[in-house]
Amino acid sequence: MIQTGFFIGVKNYIEETGLGDIHQKVLAGERLSLADGLKLYQSSDILAVGWLANLVRERINGNNAYFIYNQHINYSNICTNLCKFCAFGRPKDDDLAYEMSIAEVKDKVRQRLAEPIVEIHMVGGIHPDLPFSYYIELLRGIKEVRPEVHIQAFTCVEIAHLAGLCGKPVGKTLEILREAGLDSLPGGGAEVFSNRIRERTCGDKLPGKEWLAVAQTAHRHGFRTNATMLYGHIETFEERLEHLDALRLAQDETGGFLAFIPLAFHPKNTELAMLSSTTGIDDLKNIAVARLMLDNFAHIKAYWVMIGPKLAQIALSFGADDLDGTVKEEVITHMAGAETAQAIGSETLIKLIAEAGRVPVERTTLYDVIEVHDSAARVAS
């Protein structure tokens, strides 16, 4: 009885916020339109938007909240794209430019052999003159030191560049990279697909349509990939929604996206340093709207590096089901002024999840369960 009263109360409340029609669609499992997405972004009631996102989050992932024990490696920041929103990429002659040798990368992996790392997340800039063989050696070198690790490496932008270096189509290039040790692709480089935004912020970067084509080719060749959206700079709500819709349509076709990660723009040390950082409400709304629009994505990550562990914890009730991972050495966001730590312990991730009332599930890259930390969940409740 009490429960029914509670749900009638919530239904009336959501109707009062003007989101009643979206509530009906969510309950019926119907796909939301771009107009619905706009209404959600424009709503000033974050609790109502979050409630709706949480319905979908719990329908897909129950009470689980995932994390992974991973290590980030950024092999080089030398980049020819030099996007306006990026503080990481540098021209080759810049004082802060760097490029790791294969031996250095292997050392980084070796130094952490005692830790239960299951994934190495590796991305870099679009380097003007590293040969294709460097990337092959990079993958082989990591697998030599840590044969069981899953290598999630090279954004779709890097893959297109590597295909150019290798002189073969993207699919064939991916097969060669798989032979050398590549297991899956991270979601970076998507930014905002809109041509208007790309022209103004990253004119030299792979166009949005081609980013999607590389991701879909990867899916067709049996790779799983992630997807991101860099929000909070000069894009409109409509452009965010077009981006989400393009991902949703691509996922309908190939089904290979594992997770979506909204990336909060950090302005410091970038050419867009005059812009403000994102707010907590916008961060939560992006997670919630993504959860509601991307009905065919199993996972939405609240990447603690970008929005901070405290907000990421709250996001677990606003549509997110994953905090990403231990990370170990984050460079891209920290170059742009992130004040979060460079790494987080798995015990901290477990505590954050358990205190949020969720069950901490330690996972592999492909979301196979390594351990359910349900005793932590009991202690917290």
Restricting to residues 8-47, name those near ligand V47 by CB under 6 A: none
Classify 188 as helix, strand or coil. coil
Gap between the Cα atoms of 338 and 265, Å rounded: 10
Q: Does 68 bind ligand V47 (CB under 6 A)?
A: no
Residue closer to ligand V47 (CB basis): 206 or 332: 332
Classify 160 as helix, strand or coil. helix
Contact track, ligand V47, 159-198, x by CB under 6 A:
---------------------------xxxx-x-------
Minimum distance of ligand V47 from residue 100's CB (angstroms): 17
Minimum distance of ligand V47 from residue 177's CB (angstroms): 16
Q: Which residues contact 152 (CB under 8 A, 6 or more apart)?
A: 119, 120, 121, 122, 183, 184, 185, 186, 226, 365
Q: Which residues contact 195 (CB under 8 A, 6 or more apart)?
A: 207, 208
Asked whether 323 and 66 are in contact (CB, 8 A), the reply is yes
**Bridge-partner residues for 150, per DSSP?**
119
**How many angstroms separate the first and last alpha carbons of the chain?**
24
- Structure-block tokens of residue 224: 């799983």
Q: Does 201 bind ligand V47 (CB under 6 A)?
A: no
* Stretch touching ligand V47 by CB under 6 A, among 39-47, 57-65, 265-273, 285-293: 265-273
* Stretch touching ligand V47 by CB under 6 A, among 17-25, 226-234, 308-316, 366-374: 226-234
| CA nearest neighbour of 125 among 182, 183, 68, 202 | 202
Per-residue DSSP letter, 118: -
Size of the site for ligand V47 (CB under 6 A): 22
Q: Does 324 bind ligand V47 (CB under 6 A)?
A: yes
Restricting to residues 140-159, name those near ligand V47 by CB under 6 A: 155
Q: Which amino acid is at 216?
A: Q
* Stretch touching ligand V47 by CB under 6 A, among 7-15, 196-204, 216-224, 261-269: 261-269
Minimum distance of ligand V47 from residue 91's CB (angstroms): 16
The binder of ligand V47 chosen from 74, 333, 340, 346 (CB under 6 A): 333
Q: Does 282 bind ligand V47 (CB under 6 A)?
A: no
Residue closer to ligand V47 (CB basis): 136 or 197: 197
Place of tokens 């990939």: 225
Residue closer to ligand V47 (CB basis): 317 or 333: 333
Helices 170-180 and 132-145, interaxial angle, to 10°? 30
Minimum distance of ligand V47 from residue 12's CB (angstroms): 39
Per-residue DSSP letter, 76: B
Helices 237-254 and 208-220, interaxial angle, to 10°? 20
Residue closer to ligand V47 (CB basis): 52 or 157: 157
The binder of ligand V47 chosen from 163, 261, 314, 315 (CB under 6 A): 261
Give the footprint of ligand V47 on this chain (CB under 6 A): 85-87, 155, 186-189, 191, 226, 228, 230, 261, 263, 265-266, 270, 303, 324, 332-333, 336
